[in-house]
Chain A
Amino acid sequence: MADDILYDLKNISKKFVKGKETITVFDDLNMSIARGDFLAIMGPSGSGKTTLLNMLGGVDQPSSGEVHFDGKRVDTLSETQLAAWRANNIGFIFQFYNLMPMLNAQRNVELPLLLTRLGSAQRKKSVAAALELVSLSDRAKHMPKEMSGGQQQRVAIARALVSDPKLLLCDEPTGDLDRQTADEILSMLQLLNRDYGKTIVMVTHDPAAAKYAKRTLHLDKGEFVEKDLAA
């Protein structure tokens, strides 16, 4: 059903010009992501997975082709329009958490809400709910440097969730964590997908992490192969 498709990439190509050389990352790539999907993208370095994630997040544009999100074309949006689109639709989770070091957990989580019209009281309420969801209510006033890597990543997840985006994009979300903490984070992502219906796309090198996803796409030289892990 077309209504079930959140993201649709049609005939995407991406080329970089480096000196006199033109590097082709993707050529005629097609891809669909259904609502409620939890997709892992794996592949060797240079396979194009980060470039793909950047395009899905609207921070990079394809050289040609069409990108449709929630039925609307987004590859033609201006930089300012894309910024607003990202704020409304995408939650980002990075490998190194990328929290603002001068803000406490609460203020970090509040950042995306500064881009909305919500008042201070409503923002506080949403932040409290997001921190509650990642079991960090008691750390609301803590600075990032006062928290462990796992806790910081949970704050980052709360930040990604707080504005209730349609899609969560995770770039190696457990790449900087030990196995046990990584499992906790991945379980949390799984829970968000399963119980809250969040659509998640995760780039990872780690096959163990990919197992938490519903399906995995292996990307190699700009082309990928689907492998259903949920089956």
Chain B
Amino acid sequence: MKDLYLVFKNLTRKPLRLFLTVFATFIAFMIFGTLGAFQQALNSGVELSADDRLVTINKINFTQPLPIAYVNRIRALDDIESATHLNWFGGYYQEARNQMGMFAVDPETFLVVYDELLMTDEEKTLWLGNRQGLIAGESIAANFGWKVGDRVPVNSNIFSQRDGSTVWDFDVVAIYTGEDEQTDTNSVYFHYEYFNETQSFGGDNIGFVGIKTDDPSKNESVIKAVDDMFVNSSAETETVPEKAFNKAFLDQIGNLGLILTSVILAAFFVILVIVGNSMILSIRERTGEIGVMKTLGFTSSRIFRMVLSESLLLALLGGTLGIVASGALAEAVNQAPIQLPTLVIGQSIWVQALLFMIGLGLITGIVPATNALRLNIITALSRD
């Protein structure tokens, strides 16, 4: 503890260099925090998937429809608690760029299968009783300024009504929240019946079936039973666990994890070079002073620890500021009227960041600290 003051004074002796080095570290950790949160948000769809939930799609691919009659046949199978169906609507609000994840669903069974979407019993009753009722996640409702009681027109970029219009009118009956902080609240759900009765084509078809099994251990047998039932039919099915479905969907965008990790690693590599170089220069400039300290009786190992503490403190300072800033940035993104998953700088990001800070501090400090450790007093004083 007695040396902490010396470490602090050494660190702050050149304010401009300190600022620039901390700023570089700050930027790297802000990138890490923000992209890390983004990566986690994307993966949350996979991580938060229920183990007892399956998805049945058309075997050709998930854009091909399935007959609605399939749902009742699936419900009749063993080991299934409930099954519901969803249809991608391709909805947007006011302008085409305001697209949203909007699905036509069977409200009653939907709320059973997707029970992580939270709303009051009163809101549920309201929705079930209003064919034009729409429930919106809190994020998307905030983005569009929707509140319960509003009547909102929504366009579809896929479907049209029988009168040729692509606009459907809805009553916002509930704003749902998520069970988890990262549960998707950017989606909108409405009555399939309303959709099916008004659309101009593709009636009595659905996009995919959501199945809730009695127990995750029954998944395999249910998958086999469902797919076997529709084999050799005009619309063969492929049933997969929801986790696998979401992951496959995410993978279609590309290996985002690899891209984000590459960006983070590139940022850290640059910082490693900048901070490492800065530390080496800083310690080299102090050769004479280190020689004097050793002459006074400071042991080599103590000076080694002091130099290493200095680089650790530098990394912790810049890193902490960077992660705090990424938290603020994430909050701003969450508040902004853009459709992105909820970004959260959670405990896992903090823990990872802390490990990276310690790693960065040790790696950038080890060379100058070793140089200081090995420095011969006579050489140091004669070089001064």
Using CB atoms and an 8 Å cutoff, list the residues of chain A in contact with chain B: 54, 57, 59-60, 79-80, 83-88, 92, 94, 96, 98, 100-103, 107, 111-112, 114-115, 159
Contact = CB atoms under 8 A, between A and B. Distances in A.
Interface in B302-356: none
3 closest pairs, A vs B, by CB? A87-B297, A102-B13, A102-B9
Given A84-B299, A103-B9, 17 more contacts: A54-B378, A57-B295, A59-B294, A83-B297, A85-B297, A86-B297, A87-B298, A92-B292, A96-B384, A98-B384, A100-B9, A102-B9, A103-B6, A112-B297, A114-B2, A114-B6, A159-B296
Contact of B295 (A84, A92, A100): A92
Contacts of B77: none
A94 B292 contact: yes
Contacts of A80: 299-301
Nearest to B296: A112
A111 B293 contact: yes
A59 B377 contact: yes
The secondary-structure label for the interface of chain B is helix
Interface string B206-218: 0000000000000
B235 to A, nearest CB: 77
B10 A102 contact: yes
B381 to A, nearest CB: 8
Contacts of B3: 114
Interface string B1-42: 011011001101100000000000000000000000000000
Interface of B: 2-3, 5-6, 9-10, 12-13, 288-289, 292-301, 377-378, 381, 384
B380 to A, nearest CB: 10
**Chain A binding site: helix, strand, loop or mixed by DSSP?**
helix
Contacts of B292: 92, 94, 98, 100
Contacts of B2: 114
Contacts of B12: 102
A133 B38 CA distance: 64
Contact of B294 (A83, A84, A102): A83
21 contacts: A54-B377, A59-B377, A80-B300, A83-B294, A84-B297, A87-B298, A88-B297, A92-B292, A94-B292, A94-B381, A96-B384, A98-B289, A98-B384, A100-B292, A102-B9, A102-B10, A103-B6, A114-B6, A115-B296, A115-B298, A159-B296
A159 B296 CA distance: 9
Contact of B300 (A79, A86, A112, A115): A79
A20 to B, nearest CB: 21
B295 A60 contact: no
A83 B10 contact: no
B296 A101 contact: no
